[in-house]
Amino acid sequence: MPAAPPRSSRPLAVVPPFPRVVALAGGTGAAKFLRGLIRVIDPVGITVVVNTADDVERHGLLVSPDIDSVVYGLADVHDEERGWGLRGESWQGLAMLELLGDDTWFQLGDRDLGTHVWRTARRRAGQSLSQVTAAQTRALGVAARVLPMTDDPVTTRVRCAGLGELHFQEYFVRERCAPEIEAIRFEGAERSRPAPGVLEAIAEADAVVVCPSNPVISIGPILAVPGIREALRTVPQSVAVSPVVNGRALKGPTVAMLHHAGVEAGPAGVGSLYADFCATMVVDRRDVLSVPGVEALGMRAVLAETVMDRLEAAVSLAAVVRDQLGFDDDQAGLPACAEGGCLR
């Protein structure tokens, strides 16, 4: 009898029937875009790595605004019009806090307060932010994986003319982005470690997608966590969506922040912050004149409608991104009805 062939000690590679995508995300713009992405690419293969440098403690509660925007968006309970928090909110808790004399410039709705009470109890009982976030996504029926960029404390501090150094939320919400910015730093970033699963997800990813978030204060802190930027350079496919349209951001201080970072407040300026790990930039169709500037960075520029005023617009934009990554409908792992036909 011939001898049996030697058995390989290497496990068979199992290729999942959907693309593995890592999305880098801030708050409002990312939440809108991701609602589209999960309708054109199977959410089971999507890992969202979220900025946590905006996290803040209010009234003794731990608030993670960008994680909540992403999770609420994916769970379809986000208030799209306001850009943060939950739809159908009431504000009785905040009114009571005000009556009791607390500062209430950072508005927390009653249902949203439930999230922060729940998160704070678990964190104070010793669970990490990534453990709590995993439980949050499970409870809200979110199929995509949502990971904080780190479980370590990282805080964006903004030094403002005449006011000294402010917490990001003091600059953004309390001062309404009015003060002149002198300096921005991500306190704790250099000592932070990527949260469990972040580097593994990047190493296994077929593609990285940079959501249309503020490149300086939303994506910047993620890239400042040691190891993440280097890992992203090894991912085969990459697309970023420009958050700037016609020289303006749809929400927030993106333009002021880009000026502060010393780059042009347009797609080429955004691209210059990503060019070392990102091959393609989706540029708004109104910014056609910025295409040569993006291409001069060695990136491919693709024109599309990037304003997501309706869910259908987010789905169309996400489909452009999916096509640029080279995944067709079948490879995206979704049933034929998913794109366009099954919008909730």
Nearest CB to ligand FO1, comparing residues 155 and 324: 155
Contact 73, 34 (CB under 8 A): yes
Distance CA 31, CA 29 (A): 6
Indicate the residue among 104 and 290 with the shorter CB distance to ligand FO1. 104
CB atoms within 10 A of CB 98: 12
Q: Please say which residue, 70 or 202, places its beta carbon nearer to ligand FO1.
A: 70
Tokens 């713009």 belong to 29
Closest separation in Å from C-beta 105 to ligand FO1: 7
CB of 43 to ligand FO1, least distance (A): 22
Rounded least distance, CB 110 to ligand FO1, Å = 12
Residue nearest to ligand FO1 (CB): 27
For the bound state, the minimum distance from the C-beta of residue 174 to ligand FO1, rounded and expressed in Å, comes to 9
Residues forming contacts to ligand FO1 in the complex (CB under 6 A) are: 26-28, 54, 63, 65-66, 68, 84-85, 106-108, 112, 169, 172-173, 218
CB of 98 to ligand FO1, least distance (A): 13
Q: How far is the CB of 344 from ligand FO1 (least distance, A)?
A: 22
Long-range CB contact pairs, 310-316, < 8 A, 24+: 311/35, 311/36, 311/343, 312/340, 312/343, 313/36, 314/32, 314/33, 314/35, 314/36, 315/36, 315/39, 315/40, 315/339, 315/340, 315/343, 316/36
Of the two residues 54 and 284, which places its CB atom closer to ligand FO1 in the complex? 54
Distance CA 261, CA 77 (A): 34
Q: Which is nearer to ligand FO1, 23 or 299 (CB)?
A: 23
Query: What token pair was written down for 27?
Result: 């708050």
Question: In angstroms, what is the minimal distance from the CB of 277 to ligand FO1?
Answer: 22
Nearer to ligand FO1, 68 or 287 (CB): 68
Nearer to ligand FO1, 83 or 197 (CB): 83
DSSP 247-264: TEESSSSHHHHHHHTTS-
- Angle at which helix 65-74 crosses helix 129-139, to 10 degrees, equals 20
